[in-house]
Amino acid sequence: MSHYFYIMTTTFSDYLNKRNHKKFDLKAILFDMDGVLYDSMKWHAKSWKETMDEFDIPSTSEEFYQYEGMVGSHTINHLMNREKGRNASEEEVRTIYKRKTELFSKYNDGSLIPYAYDFVKRVHDEGFTCVIVTGSGQPTLIDKIESNYPGLFAHMVTAFDVKNGKPHPEPYLMGLQKAGNLNPNQAIVVENAPRGVEAAVAAGIFTIAVNTGPMPDSVLADAGANIVLPSMKALYDNWDDYRVYFTV
Ligand code: MG
């Protein structure tokens, strides 16, 4: 038995033991959107930074990678509290988020994460239910799903569906529900952001992190990811090895 094989076996059995499941019974794969399906995080960070500059709220482009997955109002309030010592008013939240949305729509070139389409198409054709679980309320991206991933996603959870955004488990719990009232051991999550990984782990779901951004792998491991991979290509390449554990 190779070292790699041993590590993998433990990774899967550790999850099952810890969560008191006898086995996986994989039915659905829940995908985060930004940074997993779309190479959009750099445009989000740029749009947030420029919006905050316009509203005279100090920030750095890098910090928005940490907030990825959180709903917009949380990010705004986090910065407002830090920089101004108060919450944003509803009007401020609306105005700031609207501006951020405008800038994002202007900058976003709609490019996909390499191998994201190939992976989703493959698992869809293998019979798994594919679900998007995003904190995004960005209509321009949500509209593009059907043209970039035609017929592949059965369900979608967006910022409009939940009261509590990531890192709260609600989005992923709703993903399980929409996928057919599944138990946590009947799904896996593909995430790229620490707050998203926390949400998936809090929902009790086995979580594969793909590190498509600038943060170190340790950030995703510390957030609780069961597996951390460098890319969607790595997930595509490893999938045959992983699938045997999920479908025994
Ligand atoms: Mg993401």
Expressed in angstroms and rounded, the spacing between residue 2 Cα and the centre of ligand 1 is 32
pLDDT category of residue 150 using cuts at 50, 70 and 90: very high
C-alpha closest to that of 47 among 7, 89, 104:
104
Which residues have a beta carbon within 5 Å of ligand 1, which is an ion? 32, 34-35, 192-193
Find the 83 Cα to ligand 1 centroid distance in Å.
25
pLDDT in tens, 152-197: 999 999 988 999 989 999 999 999 999 999 999 999 999 999 999 9
**pLDDT for 1:** 47
Instruction: Render pLDDT for 25-84 as a digit per residue (tens, 0 to 9).
Output: 999 999 999 999 999 999 999 999 999 999 999 999 999 998 997 888 999 999 999 999
- CA dist 68 and 111 (Å) reads 18
pLDDT of residue 227 exceeding 90, the answer is yes
| Run of H or E residues at 229 | strand 227-229
Comparing 59-73, 92-106, 175-189, 228-242, which segment has the lowest mean pLDDT? Answer: 59-73
- Mean pLDDT, residues 190-206 taken together: 97
Question: Which residues, 6+ apart, have CB-to-CB distance to 63 below 8 Å?
Answer: none
Say how many Å lie between the CA of residue 152 and the centre of ligand 1: 19
**For the residues 101-117, what does the mean pLDDT come to?**
95
Q: Is the pLDDT of residue 203 over 50?
A: yes
Question: 7: CA distance to ligand 1 center in Å?
Answer: 26
DSSP 8-state class, residue 154: S
Q: Confidence class of residue 2 from pLDDT cuts 50, 70 and 90?
A: low
Per-residue pLDDT, 39: 95
What's the CA-to-centroid distance between 31 and ligand 1, angstroms?
9
pLDDT at 3: 64
Q: How far is the CA of 230 from the centre of ligand 1 (A)?
A: 14
Confidence (pLDDT) at 8:
75
| Confidence band, pLDDT 50/70/90 cuts, at residue 118 | very high
Answer for the pair 87, 205: CB distance below 8 angstroms, yes or no.
no
- Does residue 224 surpass a pLDDT of 70? yes
Average pLDDT (209-222) is 94
100 CA from centroid of ligand 1 (Å): 17
What spacing in Å lies between the alpha carbon of 167 and ligand 1's midpoint? 12
User: What's the gap in Å between 211 CA and the centre of ligand 1?
Assistant: 10
Chain mean pLDDT for the chain: 94
Structural domains for the chain: 3-40+110-246 (3.40.50.1000), 41-107 (1.10.150.240)
Residue 201 Cα to ligand 1 midpoint, Å, equals 15
CA angle 99, 76, 83 (to 5 degrees): 115
Could you give the percent of the chain with pLDDT greater than 70? 96
**Region 212-233: what's the mean pLDDT?**
95
Distance 69 CA to ligand 1 centre (A): 6
| Residue 136 pLDDT class (50, 70, 90 cuts) | confident
pTM over 0.85: yes
